[in-house]
A and B are shown apart, each in its own frame.
Chain A
Amino acid sequence: MLSHFFEQIIYGLTVGGVYALIALGYTMVYGVMKLINFAHGELFTLGAFVGFFFLVTLDLGSFWGPVLAISLTVVGVSGITALAGRLLERVAYRPLRDSDRLAAVVSALGASIFLQNLIMVVSGAKYRAFGVDLLPTTFIQFAGQSVPVARLFVFLTAVVTMLLLYVFINNTRFGLAIRAAAIDQGAARLMGVDVNKVIAVVFVIGPALGGLAGLLVGVYYGQINFDMGQLYGLKAFTAAVIGGIGNIPGAMIGGLLLGLLETLGAAYVSGAWKDALSFVALILILVIRPTGILSERVAEKL
């Protein structure tokens, strides 16, 4: 019974780790721009397809061996999705920065539909399969339990990436600028922060993380298609809201929590009702803490 429970926790953490990675993109953009980037789910899909292109279409692994191929793919995926995010900001959001917030939301929705269909037109509507078993299918023993290595890999990748981001945001000068712009753009500008640059960087890091999550999902589950970003985007957005949108550690906690809620709901209540259950939990959390678990504007000293 206990081992069954432990298994569910492992499943929950892998699912949640992916949600958290995507949620970071939503939350970073919201923090600085007060805009929900609905096209973020599509950047996630883009990451999966770019990864597919490198690992399957070009088959880099057979030229350079797995380690070099995967490192190159990681660089390629984060680079290309970051570029796409940057372009998205220039085309869809910057022209609307001074206009009504609703206009930007509509623009975000439009960008999402456009990107999704663009991916479909370029790559086809067919589901794509990464060759089977890019990750090992073995188990390791941990605390008397057998843990699938691949799941551990997914979870650790997500956690390490998030920790790097956390350190960057909290311990570098540029991280300070991002936090300042998130609190008050005008004041930050008066203090000499280049807000345009901050927004540009946010639109590089967020999409790159989303793209990496896409790559991770593609490599682990082995199956990608052009509208996969819709469901993952929705779930990750929910995670960002649970954690407190705009708050970076909040997105991480929200993602892991949502993953755990879903798996435990499916395991102990009913698979058919698991999404309903997690959204009930979302509502409860929002009733108790309307701004999410770690609310956005904690009194903060920079």
Chain B
Amino acid sequence: MLKIYSFLILAALIGLVSFSGLDQAKAVETVKIGVMAPTTGPWATEGQDMVKVVDILVEQINAKGGINGVLIDLEVGDDGGTPKTAALAAQRLVTAGVVAVVGTYGSAVTEASQDIYDEAGVVQIATGSTSIRLTEKGLERFFRTCPRDDEQGLVLANKVKALGFVKPAIVHDNTSYAKGLADETREILKSLKIADVYFDAITPGERDFAVALSKIRAQNPDVIIFTGYYPEAAMLLRQKRDLNWNVPIIGGDATNNRTLVELAGVSAAAGYYFVSPPGPSDMKSQAALDLFKVYQERHQGLPNSVWAVLAGDAFNVIVKAIGTAGVNPEGIAMYLHSGLGKYEGLSGPISFNEKGDRVGELYRLYRVDPKGQFVLQD
């Protein structure tokens, strides 16, 4: 008896599910786009901002009737800032049936998901992963809206030279991003006839860098190049101030986060240089201003860094490509490679080369002024 009942219930459930599925398909046509971002874990600020930006864009497009009448259904996958979680998130998004994915932030994290998306035929546009090798694998559906480390290393080295420094100390944090950038910068500096006097790592997540600083000080450099992330940069600045040592520090784009000044304190942060794509407050395109207006109302303040905005750019080019090429990954990829022209993105004109890298120099030199503001130098 029980068996018959459970069979009936099961049959009813299956019927319900399939009918409701049919209903939905008839009512509205949707296209699934994924966002893979570190909404938990050490980079959760970045990840949550990425999702906030894309959420607003989805709302705006759907309010206008979607892409040629097709509504966007956003799937968010949390990669936790770790390769392992990223692989799971990627599998989940692929199973959910996304046609394209925005993300993600960390290079090693993106790398763990690349093959999964590629095998599933999904377009992926990374937004903060600057490691060189990601686009050297010949993946046809992989793009990025952020620049590459070699470009950053080149700009960083050139700025160090242009500012007249001749005895740099180079500090990284053993992550693949920071080590890569440090190596790259070191090589280019060598070709510019500038030899470093110190090259070593600190441990990210730690708070005490007094040992590293005292060791660097013994080499008497005229500038410290730090290629890691903003929490550690803030600690270095602060502890350098505590040593009454006023050597300048120049950092990379992972320190372009306004929290840096809060963490280091205005007096310690003043004078800090970094190279980065222009931050949210320096983006003047109409699209960016429109986005920030809504963002500011909803989240009190601008996104913390440029990377969230680049996620918005990645999302926008996907929408544009779907609008022209339809819901098909091959067509989207083809369009992004060749049809995009000079698309006016949030962060400036966007086009991709054959490798999927963003074309054009994005990096600028910034300096923290005595009031703690990031000021564009050139």
Contact = CB atoms under 8 A, between A and B. Distances in A.
Interface in B194-240: 200-203, 205-208, 210-212, 214-215, 218, 231, 234-235, 238
A126 B45 contact: yes
B174 A223 contact: no
Interface string B163-204: 000000000001000000000000000000000000011110
Contact of A272 (B200, B207, B234, B267): B200
B208 A125 contact: no
B42 interface: yes
Given A127-B259, A129-B263, A133-B265, A263 B205 contact: no
A148 interface: yes
B85 interface: no
B268 interface: yes
Contact of B45 (A125, A220, A223, A275): A125
A29 B212 CA distance: 34
Interface residues of A, number: 38
A127 B41 contact: no
Nearest to A271: B200
Contacts of A132: 238, 264-268
Interface string A1-35: 00010011001001100000000000000000000
B29 interface: no
B48 interface: yes
Contacts of B47: 125
A231 B208 CA distance: 13
Contacts of B39: 125
B118 interface: no
Contacts of B203: 231, 271, 274-275
Given A148-B242, A221-B235, A228 B205 contact: yes
A41 B65 CA distance: 49
Nearest to A14: B208
Contacts of A117: 40
Nearest to B243: A148
B44 interface: yes
Interface of B: 39-42, 44-45, 47-48, 174, 200-203, 205-208, 210-212, 214-215, 218, 231, 234-235, 238, 241-242, 259, 262-268, 304
18 contacts: A7-B210, A7-B214, A8-B211, A14-B208, A117-B40, A125-B45, A127-B263, A129-B259, A132-B238, A132-B265, A132-B266, A222-B238, A227-B41, A228-B205, A267-B211, A271-B202, A272-B174, A275-B203
